[in-house]
């Protein structure tokens, strides 16, 4: 069994948790629910 | 058979990730809680039907506002999105490109149009890394307006998925947006048509020359839990895997190449000699079947 993938996954899981705890999920939601004028080319 | 399975999964993914089918009546985008989750593939969150957030758009938003966030003592660096993408990459590498990404499916279908086909020179494979570093991280942080806000460089100036999935449908649904159309929109439409035309001639040109999301996942291809295994003693170097590969990889030269989108065409369709198998965290498919010997990985 290789350990590398599990170390990578755990490291990024930790990163994801840090982001979640610091309120980044709400920030992503706020941005995603409004129409992004940049994305559609008229921003 | 495996290609049909992949097409079905690609189509189902595209439909599920764009599962807000009420938009022709509401005439706006989905605004529910699912949009706090990032899509594993490239799918614009301003697409009227999209029910998840675009990971590239989300990262750019974090980078564009990092100065303002720090001044306001908000430590938002995009760890949630980067961590989420890293988990997916750590599990399966670039497999979302081959099996889930809606824009990848569009390119695959365009390439099915009969006609003369061309290969993409290897030098272009550095493009996604340049776009990842420049348009997703450096420019949104570096170039800011008078208030300290950066721009979404990739979304604003390049992303053809945004033009196709969000720009054109929203202009149809919301007439007020049409009054705001300017030169930038026409440039983005030209970029879209360029990639549509290129996709008819070459396999997955956007993924191979531009896509920053694929570039991010590609870092994980050699270390991911799911990997492909090469059995040199069975390989005849017939190059059928190279002929069928959508991203022009000679598997026997570079198993788990960073460009590999893990479509598994080489394993299931091309190779008749059993020279390619898969392994999950060190346990191989052939080991499970009791015939795994002599496999190598790079």
Residues in A lying within 8 Å of B, measured between beta carbons: 1-2, 4-6, 8-9, 11-20, 22-29, 31-33, 35-43
C-alpha closest to that of B37 among B60, B19, B54, B61: B54
Residues of B with CB below 8 A from A43's CB? 152, 156, 184
Instruction: Note whether A16 contacts B33, CB cutoff 8 Å.
Output: no
Picking from B118-122, B132-136, B176-180, B185-189, which range would have the lowest pLDDT averaged per residue? Answer: B176-180
Q: How confident is the model at residue B292 (pLDDT cuts 50, 70, 90)?
A: very low
> What is the predicted pLDDT for the residue at B71?
92
Instruction: Please state, as a whole number, how many other Cβ atoms lie within 10 Å of the Cβ of residue B21.
Output: 12
Structure token digits, residue B153: 């460089």
When pLDDT is averaged across residues B283-293 and rounded to a whole number, the result is 59
Q: What share of chain B is helix, strand, coil (3-state, %, to 5)?
A: 55, 5, 40
- Give the DSSP H/E element, type plus range, for residue B279: strand B276-280
Q: List the end-to-end C-alpha distance of chain A, in Å, as a whole number.
A: 50
Joined tokens for residue B143: 């170039």
Query: What residues of B are in contact with residue A8 (Cβ under 8 Å)?
Result: 86, 89-90, 220, 223-224
pLDDT band at A40 (very low <50, low <70, confident <90, very high): confident
pLDDT, tens digit, 9 for 90 and up, residues B212-247: 999 999 999 999 999 999 999 999 999 999 999 999
Whether B35 contacts chain A with CB within 8 A = yes
Among all residues of chain B, which has the CA nearest to that of A33? B31
Residue B106's Cβ-side half-sphere holds a number of Cα atoms within 13 Å equal to: 21
Instruction: List the one residue out of B235, B233, B230, B225 whose CA is nearest residue B297.
Output: B230
Contacts of A11 in chain B (CB under 8 A): 86
Structure tokens at B110: 């365009």
Of B61, B79, B181, the CB nearest to A15: B79
- Over residues A18-30, the mean pLDDT reads 96
Phi and psi for B93 in degrees, rounded to 5? 65, -135
| DSSP one-letter string for B30-86 | --SGGGGSBPSS---TTSTT--SB-HHHHHHHHHHTHHHHHHTT----SHHHHHHHH
Confidence of residue B290 (pLDDT cuts 50, 70, 90): low
Place of tokens 């990024």: A12
Which DSSP symbol is given to B135?
A: I
pTM of the model: 0.93
Query: Which CATH number is B226-288's, of 3.30.70.3270, 3.40.800.10, 3.40.640.10, 3.40.980.10?
Result: 3.30.70.3270
Q: Would the ipTM clear 0.90, i.e. be above it?
A: yes
- Position B218 scores a pLDDT of 97
- Spell out which residues of chain B touch residue A14, defining contact as CB-CB under 8 Å: 83
Task: Measure in Å the smallest separation between the Cα of B59 and chain A Cα atoms.
Answer: 9
Q: Three-state DSSP class for B175?
A: helix
Domain residue ranges in chain B? 55-217, 226-288
Please, which residues have CB within 8 angstroms of residue B109's CB and are 6 or more apart in sequence? none
Tell me which residue in B54, B80, B167 faces A25 most closely, judged by beta carbons.
Answer: B80
Residue B104 near residue B97 (C-beta atoms within 8 A): yes
Task: Please indicate whether, in this complex, the C-beta atoms of B86 and A11 are within 8 angstroms of each other.
Answer: yes
Measured from the Cβ of residue A10, the count of other Cβ atoms closer than 10 Å reads 12
Beta bridge partners of B226: B280
CB contact under 8 A, B167 and A26: no
Exposed/middle/buried for residue B219 (C-beta within 10 Å: 0-12, 13-18, 19+): middle
A27 with B61: Cβ contact below 8 A: yes
Alpha-carbon distance of B87 to A20, in angstroms, equals: 14
Average pLDDT value over all residues in chain B: 93
Residue B154 Cα, gap to closest chain A Cα (Å): 9
The DSSP-derived string for B191-258 is HHHHHHHHHHHSSSHHHHHT-HHHHHHHTTTTTSSEEEEE-TTT-----HHHHH-TT---TTT-TT-T
Decide: B10 and B105 in contact? Cβ < 8 Å. Answer: yes
Determine the Cα angle at B256 with ends B116 and B286, to 5°: 110
Per residue in B60-112, pLDDT tens?
999 999 999 999 988 999 999 999 999 999 999 999 999 999 999 999 999 99
Give dist(CA B154, CA B212) in Å, integer.
9
Q: Is B229 on the interface with A (CB under 8 A)?
A: no
How many residues are recorded in chain B?
Answer: 298
Instruction: For residue range B12-30, list pLDDT tens digits in order.
Output: 999 999 999 999 999 999 9
A22 and B75 in contact by Cβ < 8 A?
yes
Cα(B249)–Cα(B289) distance, rounded to whole angstroms?
27
**pLDDT over 70, % of chain B:** 95
Q: What is the pLDDT of residue B240?
A: 95
Q: Tell me the mean pLDDT in the region B183-201.
A: 97
């Amino acid at each position: 069994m290789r350990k590398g993938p599990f170390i990578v996954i755990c490291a990024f899981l930790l990163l994801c948790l840090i982001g979640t705890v610091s309120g980044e999920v709400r920030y992503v939601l706020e941005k995603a629910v409004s129409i992004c004028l940049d994305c559609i080319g008229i921003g | 058979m495996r290609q049909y399975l992949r097409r079905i999964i690609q189509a189902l993914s595209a439909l599920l990730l764009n599962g807000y089918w009420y938009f022709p009546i509401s005439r706006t985008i989905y605004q529910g809680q699912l949009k706090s989750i990032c899509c594993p593939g490239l799918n614009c969150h301003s697409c009227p039907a999209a029910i998840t957030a675009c990971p590239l758009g989300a990262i750019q938003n974090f980078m564009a506002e990092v100065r303002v966030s720090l001044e306001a003592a908000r430590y938002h660096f995009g760890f949630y999105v980067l961590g989420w993408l890293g988990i997916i990459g750590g599990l399966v590498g670039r497999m979302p490109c081959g099996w889930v990404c809606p824009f990848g499916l569009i390119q695959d279908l365009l390439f099915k149009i009969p006609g003369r086909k061309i290969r993409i020179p290897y030098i272009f494979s550095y493009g996604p890394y340049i776009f990842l570093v420049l348009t997703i991280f450096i420019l949104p942080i570096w170039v800011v307006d008078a208030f300290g806000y950066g721009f979404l460089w990739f979304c604003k100036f390049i992303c053809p998925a945004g033009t196709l999935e969000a720009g054109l449908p929203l202009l149809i649904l919301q007439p007020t947006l049409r009054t705001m159309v300017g030169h930038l929109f026409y440039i983005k439409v030209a970029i879209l048509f360029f990639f549509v035309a290129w996709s008819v001639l070459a396999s997955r040109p956007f993924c191979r020359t531009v896509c920053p999301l694929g570039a991010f996942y590609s870092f994980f291809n050699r270390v991911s839990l799911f990997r492909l295994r090469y059995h040199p003693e069975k390989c005849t170097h017939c190059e059928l895997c190279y002929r069928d590969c959508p991203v022009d990889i000679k598997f026997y030269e570079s198993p788990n190449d960073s460009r590999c989108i893990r479509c598994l065409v080489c394993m299931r369709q091309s190779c008749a000699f059993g020279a390619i198998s898969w392994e999950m965290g060190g346990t191989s498919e052939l080991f499970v079947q009791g015939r795994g010997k002599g496999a190598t990985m790079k």
